[in-house]
Chains A and B, each alone.
Chain A
């Protein structure tokens, strides 16, 4: 059966009762304690962006130290480790995960599937408030004695809970672990919602194989997160017990600064396995929603059907499954049994194949398209460049023996920033420029958007591309200062200063973006219901921004896949999913 469109006459007319929704009764229940997934999505996104700003400032501070060592006396070795730790943790968990799943997931899943809301709106609301609490606990760790933890975002014991690490014997590590535990509780409430909504609340005609790839990406990532986060949850609980009650889950017999400690019999490497059993799927928990969203951006703005839709879906599912058997490629030099290397190198390089297929299909969607270089499209193109670059350097690090000289160097830092920092964030930007008109009813300012794009794209590439070569040289990561090293030429310091200056500029461009978000709210060009002439259901709502319940009296009925652009014989260059026949506009689209 073709995925593109089904026979219209097979689907009876919509006969949908008004479902039981919670209707807000006051300003407080409409905008604050709100159960509408659209508002929750925006709450998630704004909170994630706010805490992301903290991470941005931290990255500035660490770049000041690396670019101009010794110049800023307030940056101590302790502070530097705290900066890198909190920057990493915020970006991976509290920004990327929360923004893709909590932000885009909440806003888009019900709208794209033709549902009125998530299936458990009250739990959905709780999910956001627990997430906010997790963020507040995280922020609190900046203000406690000893400051936040400086254990690195991987929190490896024993050092994470010992006195040689900032926050190890103070409040820092305790609040960090508590915050992670809260985050996972909050995420689980939201995540179950997304999965059940996708499986149970799709509108008539919206088969799984007609869902937009955005939903496929978010759905698969959520399933993965529900399976992976428990590993982090138990490791956080056990590490907290080791720290507070003196248990020895991860702590062997050891002597700290000549003093015997009471721990005995625990395994530090067990923590690493648990951490990466979560940590590697986490990479794809961030990447898969980005894959999905970018597929829809490229298709819409190239006015061409996504190429190889079924292959794209299977690639998402295959990547999701494979990502659970590659975790120990983060541990090639951890001292685990060396024979693991053969297995994990093989699985890791195999995952490159479905990933490459996705890249080819994005390119083949551009090919013979009608490419509109809108701001969302520009960010989608920038995503492809940075993702391919970072994905290819992953083939160095995944191929066990090549990883040996490169692990724990700046090469790794450059690699993961390119592939899971810069690339997904470009998709977030692309997504925000794309859906802002639906959320607010106004377009983001185009000129500001283009400046933001060019500075971010070229700047990020200039930061992270040369950084690989510092790692190749042998410069280790997580170093407060390189100091005197015979093998490091003076030119490396020049490069570090250059990278730092570019990082300051790229950071400043993000402030322009935030200004644009606020400015366009009142001054942006009115968008209308479907400014990009897109096919998916969220653009066919009777009101923009969509009202409570999304669809008015009747739910939309889906007759085709999400990618009917430039269908031969159709009277316009797109056919909405809820339009029965190519030539005739549906009542929803006309409204």
Chain B
């Protein structure tokens, strides 16, 4: 009785896991970037690993039903079976390759920034997000931690001509135009942070002392929540922000209303 129970529970566990997977109300957010390839790779991985898991647990259940101890039973003595071991190794290698190959291809495009991508900067600090957009010249000016002051919280270099027309956005939402690739330059001025929008799929840590990056193309208009995904102290879970993806025209209307760094500096002086 008890012995049957073990096998039955294993079968229920395998079947239940599959049923849970398909009925789960918790599933990824609708994608809003060009990284649907990541979703595809994830689905391939789900199919392969799901099949293996189910097969292994069901095989265990079969073994328990078929080979459980009964009076007078004895086990088969057979230390090795080279042929079977070789086949299993080759089969596993093929399954691994079927997941790794698409993964590496998608990773290649993930790390290859298209030349026409617009560079923008996202700055993390405890515990808020700030943004910087290149102005008319399309270039971001240089920065230095030692320039940071209450009037210049992101540490822009006031002498750099390229930085004069940069647009600094503090304590407000980031706006992005739809359909245009963006190279996100990530900078931190205190500890590690990680700019994370679940709908974009992409994320990357920001490290003080270094500029990191990732790229994506927004493919859906709307307002998306920004989270911090790298532990950054007690305010970690409260470090929120928003990204607004807009049609080109609306985006430019918003951009017109923003102040340049030069103008901000002039106001202070």
Chain A residues near B (Cβ < 8 Å)? 2-4, 77-78, 81, 150-152, 156, 158-159, 162, 164-166, 168, 252-258, 260, 266-269, 302-305, 307-311, 333-335, 338-339, 341-342, 345-346, 349-350, 352-353, 356-357, 359-361, 363-364, 366-373, 378, 381, 384-385, 388-389, 392-393, 395-396, 399-402, 404-405, 407-409, 450, 458, 461, 465-466, 469-470, 472-474, 476, 478-483, 485-487, 489, 491-492, 495, 563, 565-568, 573
Does A473 lie within 8 Å of B67, measured CB to CB?
no
Is B162 in contact with chain A by the CB < 8 A criterion?
no
Is B235 in contact with chain A by the CB < 8 A criterion?
yes
Residues of B within 8 A of A450 (CB): 2
Is B173 in contact with chain A by the CB < 8 A criterion?
no
Q: How many residues of B contact A (CB 8 A)?
A: 102
Does A495 lie within 8 Å of B63, measured CB to CB?
no
Given contacts A159-B232, A395-B45, A492-B26, is CB(A350)–CB(B57) below 8 Å? no
Among the listed stretches B73-81, B130-138, B243-251, B258-266, which one makes contact with chain A, having 4 or more residues with CB under 8 Å of it? B73-81
**A364 CA to B83 CA in the complex, in Å?**
13
Does B3 lie within 8 Å of A373, measured CB to CB?
yes
Does A258 lie within 8 Å of B150, measured CB to CB?
yes
Given contacts A399-B103, A400-B104, is CB(A472)–CB(B26) below 8 Å? yes
**A408 CA to B35 CA in the complex, in Å?**
18
**A409 CA to B17 CA in the complex, in Å?**
20
Residues of B within 8 A of A255 (CB): 125, 145, 148, 155, 189-190
Does A371 lie within 8 Å of B63, measured CB to CB?
yes
**A567 CA to B79 CA in the complex, in Å?**
10
Does B42 lie within 8 Å of A396, measured CB to CB?
yes
The 8 A CB mask of B2-25 against A (1 = contact, 0 = none) is 110010011001000100100011
Residues of A within 8 A of B191 (CB): 158-159, 162, 164-165, 254
Given contacts A366-B60, A396-B42, A399-B99, is CB(A253)–CB(B146) below 8 Å? yes
Among the listed stretches B87-95, B114-122, B163-171, which one makes contact with chain A, having 4 or more residues with CB under 8 Å of it? B87-95
Does A469 lie within 8 Å of B24, measured CB to CB?
yes
Residues of A within 8 A of B205 (CB): 333-335
Out of B10, B77, B153, B188, name the residue touching A568 (CB < 8 Å). Answer: B77
- How many whole Å from B87's CB to the nearest CB in chain A? 10
- How many whole Å from A559's CB to the nearest CB in chain B? 16
Does B190 lie within 8 Å of A469, measured CB to CB?
no
- How many whole Å from A452's CB to the nearest CB in chain B? 15
Does B78 lie within 8 Å of A368, measured CB to CB?
yes
Residues of B within 8 A of A495 (CB): 26
- How many whole Å from A308's CB to the nearest CB in chain B? 5
Does B110 lie within 8 Å of A258, measured CB to CB?
no
Does B234 lie within 8 Å of A165, measured CB to CB?
yes
Is B140 in contact with chain A by the CB < 8 A criterion?
no
- How many whole Å from A201's CB to the nearest CB in chain B? 27
Chain B residues near A (Cβ < 8 Å)? 2-3, 6, 9-10, 13, 17, 20, 24-29, 35, 37-38, 41-42, 45, 48-49, 52-53, 56-57, 59-60, 63-64, 67-69, 73-81, 84-85, 88-89, 92-93, 96, 99-100, 103-104, 106-108, 110-111, 125-127, 145-146, 148-150, 153, 155, 186, 188-192, 194, 196, 198-199, 201-210, 212, 225, 227-238
Residues of B within 8 A of A396 (CB): 42, 45, 49
Does B57 lie within 8 Å of A367, measured CB to CB?
no
**A504 CA to B110 CA in the complex, in Å?**
42
Could you list 25 examples of A-B contacts with CB < 8 Å? A2-B79, A165-B191, A166-B234, A258-B148, A268-B207, A304-B76, A307-B81, A308-B85, A334-B207, A341-B107, A360-B88, A366-B64, A371-B64, A371-B67, A373-B68, A381-B10, A388-B52, A396-B42, A399-B103, A401-B41, A401-B107, A402-B103, A405-B198, A474-B198, A487-B29
Query: In this complex, which of A4, A349, A563 has the most chain B Cβ atoms within 10 angstroms of its Cβ?
Result: A349
**A309 CA to B205 CA in the complex, in Å?**
44
Residues of A within 8 A of B202 (CB): 404-405
Given contacts A255-B155, A309-B80, A381-B60, is CB(A346)–CB(B104) below 8 Å? yes
Does B79 lie within 8 Å of A563, measured CB to CB?
yes
Does B194 lie within 8 Å of A165, measured CB to CB?
no
Residues of B within 8 A of A338 (CB): 107, 110-111
Out of B78, B145, B229, name the residue touching A476 (CB < 8 Å). Answer: B229
Given contacts A260-B145, A487-B225, is CB(A77)–CB(B234) below 8 Å? yes
Residues of A within 8 A of B56 (CB): 359, 363, 384, 388
* 3 A-B pairs closest in CB distance: A252-B209, A474-B198, A164-B233
Out of B38, B59, B194, name the residue touching A405 (CB < 8 Å). Answer: B38
**Nearest-CB residue, chain B, relative to A339:** B111
User: How many residue-residue contacts, CB under 8 A, span A and B?
Assistant: 329
Residues of A within 8 A of B236 (CB): 81, 478-480
Residues of B within 8 A of A481 (CB): 237
Does B74 lie within 8 Å of A333, measured CB to CB?
no
Given contacts A381-B60, A396-B49, A407-B229, is CB(A303)–CB(B92) below 8 Å? no
Given contacts A159-B231, A304-B75, A308-B81, is CB(A479)–CB(B237) below 8 Å? yes
**Nearest-CB residue, chain A, relative to B203:** A333
Does A408 lie within 8 Å of B75, measured CB to CB?
no
Does B203 lie within 8 Å of A405, measured CB to CB?
yes
Does B107 lie within 8 Å of A307, measured CB to CB?
no
Known: A341-B111, A479-B236; 9 extra A-B contacts, CB below 8 A, are A255-B148, A304-B76, A305-B78, A311-B80, A371-B63, A402-B42, A466-B20, A474-B227, A483-B238
**Nearest-CB residue, chain B, relative to A362:** B60
Residues of B within 8 A of A566 (CB): 74-77
Out of B81, B110, B150, name the residue touching A401 (CB < 8 Å). Answer: B110
**Nearest-CB residue, chain B, relative to A569:** B77
Does A258 lie within 8 Å of B153, measured CB to CB?
yes
Does B208 lie within 8 Å of A254, measured CB to CB?
yes
- How many whole Å from B57's CB to the nearest CB in chain A? 6
- How many whole Å from B106's CB to the nearest CB in chain A? 4
- How many whole Å from B10's CB to the nearest CB in chain A? 7
Does B79 lie within 8 Å of A156, measured CB to CB?
no
Given contacts A371-B69, A469-B24, A469-B26, is CB(A256)–CB(B77) below 8 Å? no
Out of A339, A408, A567, name the residue touching B230 (CB < 8 Å). Answer: A408
Residues of A within 8 A of B6 (CB): 373, 378, 381
- How many whole Å from A265's CB to the nearest CB in chain B? 8
Residues of B within 8 A of A409 (CB): 229
Residues of A within 8 A of B233 (CB): 159, 162, 164-165, 168
Residues of A within 8 A of B198 (CB): 405, 473-474, 487
Residues of B within 8 A of A482 (CB): 237
Residues of A within 8 A of B149 (CB): 258
Does B89 lie within 8 Å of A353, measured CB to CB?
yes
**A368 CA to B202 CA in the complex, in Å?**
48
